[in-house]
Structure 1
Amino acid sequence: SACDATIDIVFVIDSSGSIIDVDFQKTIEFMVQMVNGLPISSNKIRIGALQFNTFPYVQFYLNAFHDKSDLISAIRAIRRSSGGTQTDTALLKADQELFNPARGMRDQSSKVLILVTDGASNNRQATIQAAEVVKSHGITLFAIGVGGAILFELNSVATTPICTHVFTLQDFSQMDTILNEIQGRACRGMYTYLLGKQHFNNHKSFVIATEIVVDFRMCQAITN
């Protein structure tokens, strides 16, 4: 695979009352497709998952599955609950409990959180503050908005530049259109944290840093 990085990826998925079962299943299928395209193993990419509504529920930790088929079975076994949209508590739980060395997070890994939500959180300011905590720990945050998602909130929680970390979809059936984009970003754009620790030789660091700068300039050209 072209994606040859050490990455810890946590999915944080919305299961609030406004999401019907068929759309929740499309979210699950999106996760399966992403996992299918990534090198899952104990020393490459690890996956954790949490669903949330009024409360956050850990589905599995980063050290739970190192075999792709077992991981996909675990994803397909997720059953939705229902309730409000407490995105802030979900983000903090992911930060504290899933991105945790005792639960399989690796010190040298790039860290990625993929938030999938269909609408505004119950407490926007708390959500933005929680996202700042997550990002301050070197975690790159993608925000995927579906249905009636509030763009302002997505832009406020995601890692910058937002044009490469925020995706909005008209409905869940379009999720596969961003699959390749997220896979590419999760395998290339996540090196910011590692660059600071100089875990790459100078040439590779330069290439990665250049790509990030180019991405940012393209974003500015598009959004300005």
Structure 2
Amino acid sequence: SVLPGFRKRNLFLTLPPPGESQCPAYPTELVFGLDMSDDVTPTALERQRSALLHLLEDLSIAESNCPQGARVAVVGYSAYTKYLIRFQDYHRKTALIEAVKNIALEKTGGGTMTGKGLEFMSNEHFVGKAGSRAAQKVPQIAVVITDGKSQDDVESHAKNLRRRGIVLYAIGIKDADASQLREIANDDQHVYKHHPDAMHNCRRSQTTTPATVSRATVADIVFLVDSSTSIGVDNFEEIRQFLRSFILGLDIGPDKIRIGLAQYSDETYQEFLLKDHMDKDSLLAEVDQFPYRTGGTETGKAIDFLQSVYFTQEAGSRASQRVPQFAVVITDGDSTDDVVEPAKRLRDQGVIIFAIGVGDVNQQQLESIVNLPAHHFLYTIDSYQALQRLTDSLLQTVCISVESRSQGETKKTSLQNCLL
């Protein structure tokens, strides 16, 4: 059986790169850990291999015709750890899959030491000397596959990886300990119990690109960006890169997705309306050049500005055609004015409000802005550098919300409905 949240994440973060439609992949680095302890039988190894091959099947590998695809490494762990495949070993998908098929059960002695395997991944793979591109903000993902309970501590090593921004998944084969899988993974949505049919569904849903998600949707999305003095120039550039990544995952067009952007501090600034940019290239060009404004933080005033200026038919809103309307507020501050009534007015108009709070934000204030349930529509992160990791999650949540709105439902539908 599959644990909760099985379909809700995009395991390989395959966002489309700019100008590379023939290469539907975003740079990603994945390290898979295979349990090679003494109690692993040849049959158990085949189960692990089957899970790994299912996940690799739809993955775009970094090779000559797709250099920005995924790099893959595989480690074996028990009381000792060893390299099975390194990032630089294979640059053709066929060769990588053949190598996985040829991995032999080489027991190095000892029991299951998953914590040691996680430490090995952290120290020997997710580092520059091993070819990791973490410094270039390439997403880093670790997938631990195990069929037993670890005899050492896994939680502290998993926390260390997560602190470094590495996303952890855990796949349990047969007798794997479910509570320990949860200690390894980022959350329950990153934990799977292996069954051949389940892994096939996982591969289908988890490797579908957000671009495919977006082709099923029509929506108007307006970003409201806090550009107060507290943000700073460097953090403002992180916001710019986040907007680029998000837009790259969408199908932009006059009859597809439309994007608007406003900035605010203690003043409001019209950057571009929903009607202004109907193709992705011009939209990205505008995102690359809009200025950092500075000032105080008056979020309520800015939300009213969205309602009166952006979500109107004259500005390009298609609300009258029943196209779903979204606002995404990005802020790091505590607003000095009232946000409750402006947000209520905008929601009452039918606009779904998301918020991304960065750093030491006023949680209660942000919860009063977003739609309910708040935990579906409010994201809180420690720093602007963490924005990039939100791209895929926000894309998928928007997709689900669009599907729900278009069907006239208030509940969230399965992401699979949006993918197929």
Same structural fold, with TM-score higher than 0.5 when normalized by the shorter chain: yes
- Give the structure 2 partner of residue 159 of structure 1: 371
Residue 46 of structure 1: how far off its partner (Å)? 0.1
Residue 195 of structure 1: how far off its partner (Å)? 3.7
- Give the structure 2 partner of residue 109 of structure 1: 323
CA contact under 8 A between 2:355 and 2:378: conserved in structure 1? yes
Counterpart of 1:135 (choices 338, 347, 350) is 347
- Give the structure 1 partner of residue 388 of structure 2: 176
CA contact under 8 A between 1:17 and 1:84: conserved in structure 2? yes
Superposed CA deviations along residues 42-85 of structure 1, whole A, max 9, x for unmatched, are 00100000000011101000010111011001011110111110
Residue 194 of structure 1: how far off its partner (Å)? 3.7
- Give the structure 2 partner of residue 202 of structure 1: none
2:323 maps to 1:121? no
Residue 209 of structure 1: how far off its partner (Å)? 4.6
2:216 maps to 1:2? no
Instruction: Provide the TM-score with structure 1 as the length reference.
Output: 0.85
Structure 1, unpaired ranges of 5+: 197-204, 213-224
CA distance, structure 2, for counterparts of residue 31 and residue 191 of structure 1: 22
CA contact under 8 A between 2:359 and 2:382: conserved in structure 1? yes
Structure 2, unpaired ranges of 5+: 1-211, 415-420
- Give the structure 2 partner of residue 147 of structure 1: 359
2:283 maps to 1:74? no
Structure with greater helix share of residues: 1
How many corresponding residue pairs?
200
Superposed CA deviations along residues 156-205 of structure 1, whole A, max 9, x for unmatched, are 11111111110011000000111111101111213454444xxxxxxxx6
Query: CA 1:194 to 1:48, structure 2 compared with 1: closer, same or farther past 3 Å?
Result: same
Aligned AA for 1:2? V
- Give the structure 2 partner of residue 32 of structure 1: 244
- Give the structure 2 partner of residue 211 of structure 1: 413
CA contact under 8 A between 1:40 and 1:46: conserved in structure 2? yes
Aligned AA for 2:324? S
CA contact under 8 A between 1:138 and 1:193: conserved in structure 2? no
Aligned AA for 1:46? R
Instruction: Provide the TM-score with structure 2 as the length reference.
Output: 0.46
Q: 2:259 aligns to what SS in structure 1? A: strand
Q: 1:135 aligns to what SS in structure 2? A: helix
Q: 1:152 aligns to what SS in structure 2? A: helix
Query: CA 1:190 to 1:210, structure 2 compared with 1: closer, same or farther past 3 Å?
Result: closer
Q: 1:148 aligns to what SS in structure 2? A: coil
Query: CA 1:150 to 1:67, structure 2 compared with 1: closer, same or farther past 3 Å?
Result: same
Residue 121 of structure 1: how far off its partner (Å)? 0.2
CA contact under 8 A between 2:219 and 2:324: conserved in structure 1? yes
Counterpart of 1:89 (choices 273, 293, 301) is 301
Residue 211 of structure 1: how far off its partner (Å)? 1.8
Whichever of the two has the greater Rg, that structure is: 2
| RMSD of equivalent CA atoms | 1.5
Q: 1:79 aligns to what SS in structure 2? A: coil
Aligned AA for 2:326? V
CA contact under 8 A between 2:264 and 2:297: conserved in structure 1? yes
CA distance, structure 2, for counterparts of residue 40 and residue 34 of structure 1: 11
* Runs of at least 4 residues off by over 4 Å: none
Q: Which moved more, 1:109-118 or 1:151-160?
A: 151-160
2:11 maps to 1:11? no
- Give the structure 2 partner of residue 218 of structure 1: none
CA contact under 8 A between 2:221 and 2:259: conserved in structure 1? yes
Query: CA 1:210 to 1:150, structure 2 compared with 1: closer, same or farther past 3 Å?
Result: closer
- Give the structure 2 partner of residue 189 of structure 1: 401
Q: 1:89 aligns to what SS in structure 2? A: helix
